[in-house]
């Protein structure tokens, strides 16, 4: 049994040739529409997510270290994700500045203020003494 270019079996040579000619004519006139064997990256940018697997994914703006942005789908609803900078690509001065920022901050010792008050217990003891 003969196969045409589409990959379907042909019962007669005439039908096989007819299918091949029709396919080539349609392919030459309509390059925008793609068939099953012509799917590529250009097709995927037009298609929406039709699967239930991606139901809980949210559109998020991903910011790369060089400042370029990409729209992605992420599992958490956020507006923007920022990727970390690769320290090995920075100059020595910038690397030292970033490493200093990463170090734990030393908290300045807070000075405890001693409040002076003129509270005298004898002035208020009359309120809790029994008569």
Q: Please write the tens of the pLDDT for every residue from 75-130.
A: 889 999 999 988 888 899 999 999 999 898 887 777 777 777 888 888 888 888 77
Return d(Cα 131, Cα 128) in angstroms, integer: 9
Q: What CA–CA distance (Å, rounded) separates 11 from 18? A: 12
Q: Is 2 helix (H, G, I), strand (E, B) or coil?
A: strand
Q: What is the pLDDT of residue 1?
A: 46
Secondary structure tally for the chain: helices H, strands E: 4, 5
* Count of all residues that appear for the chain in the document: 131
**Cβ-contact 49, 42 below 8 angstroms:** no
Whether the predicted pLDDT of 68 surpasses 90: yes
In the chain, where are the structural domains located? 2-35, 52-102
Instruction: Using a cut of 0.75, tell me whether the model's pTM lies above it.
Output: no
């Amino acid at each position: 049994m003969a196969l045409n270019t589409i990959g379907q079996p042909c019962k007669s040579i005439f039908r096989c040739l007819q299918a091949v000619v029709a396919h080539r004519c349609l392919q030459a006139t309509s390059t925008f529409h793609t068939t099953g064997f012509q799917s590529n990256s250009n097709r995927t940018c037009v298609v929406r997510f039709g699967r239930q697997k991606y139901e809980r994914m949210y559109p998020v703006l991903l910011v790369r270290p060089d400042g370029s942005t990409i729209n992605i789908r992420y599992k958490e609803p956020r507006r923007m994700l920022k990727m970390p900078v690769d320290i090995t690509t920075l100059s020595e001065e910038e690397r030292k500045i970033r490493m200093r920022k990463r170090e734990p901050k030393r908290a300045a010792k807070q000075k405890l203020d001693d409040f002076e008050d003129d509270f005298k217990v004898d002035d208020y003891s009359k309120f809790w003494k029994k008569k």
